[in-house]
Amino acid sequence: MAKQMSIHGLDAAQAGLCQGVTAQTTRKWLGRYLTGGEAALVDASSRPARSPRSFDESKALLIVELRRRRMLQSRIARYAGVSATTVSRVLTRAGLSRLSDLQSAEPVIRHKHEAPGDMLHIDTKKLGRIVRPSHRVTGNRRNSVEGAGWETLFVAIDDHARIAFTAMHRDEKKHEAVAFVHNAVAYYAGLGVRIKRLLTDNGAAFRSKEFAAACKALGMQHKFTRPYRPQTNGKAGRFIQSALREWAYGWTYQNSAERTHALASW
């Protein structure tokens, strides 16, 4: 294109029309050709000649190494002679912005008991009471329902067979928890399964004397999840997530009774 303009005397509009580009683009390339010949038509690097704000990679490695020694960011900044903002940026890029990031994740150990009834997982989930479709359904915050209260979904799931039993209760207090565990054990007994052990979180209802007495009367050993380790009761937790997605939040309900009625069919 530049040669056509230079040799054949085409103007910018004519040469650009032949190549499908604008006259402005044509003039730009002609200028480069006239200044430096064909060598000037090769795309140049867009990297600037100077990068005054670029950071020395060796210093970044030093910051990461100091962090691995569990040094705080403010101390790293003083030691490396850089700003705290720079330290934060480097550590964020390295995935070490928090000291807890230095701790290697514990391997996930998946347990499966050998027979139905060997372990029953129980968990709960609070759900807002429905008096009319709220903003979750309508998408309009003006339809928010304030002060309607809560109900509690109780979930039990057998560790081996993955068969679940669920029920809605008015709250998650000890008397409701005791009623649920009796109903759950009766349900599994109807399937020919005797529950031997029970796993729950450390909620007040499950720590109560009344719940302990119920477990003893039912002949079950009661175990608790480790503090801050909800994945210990992961089977019940995953079931609750499915219930929320497919049942509780998957349909529009006019009231709580309608939602509870739909739980059985789900």
pLDDT tens for residues 209-257? 999 999 999 999 999 988 766 666 778 888 999 999 999 988 889 999 9
If we measure between CA atoms, which residue out of 101, 222, 221, 242 comes closest to residue 162? 242
Q: What per-residue confidence (pLDDT) applies to 151?
A: 95
Beta-sheet strand order (sheet of 197-200): 164-169, 150-158, 120-128, 197-200, 221-224
Average pLDDT of the segment spanning 188-202: 95
Q: How far is Cα 212 from Cα 208, in angstroms, rounded to an integer? A: 6
Superfamily of domain 120-265: Ribonuclease H-like superfamily/Ribonuclease H (3.30.420.10)
What the block records as the tokens of 65 is 């190494």
This model's pTM is above 0.85: no
Contact 12, 5 (CB under 8 A): yes
What does the pLDDT look like over 42-99, one tens digit per residue? 766 666 666 656 677 888 999 999 999 889 999 999 999 999 999 999 999 999 999 8
Check pLDDT > 80 for residue 36. Answer: no
- Which residues does residue 131 pair with via DSSP β-bridges, in sequence order? none
Q: Where are the domains of the chain?
A: 1-41, 57-102, 120-265
Contact 63, 80 (CB under 8 A): yes
Average pLDDT of the segment spanning 136-161: 77
Q: φ and ψ at 237, to 5 degrees?
A: -60, -40
Helix (H, G, I), strand (E, B) or coil at 8: helix
99 DSSP 8-state letter: G
Q: Residue 178 is which amino acid? A: V
What the block records as the tokens of 27 is 């003039």
pLDDT band for 136, please (50, 70, 90 cuts).
Answer: low
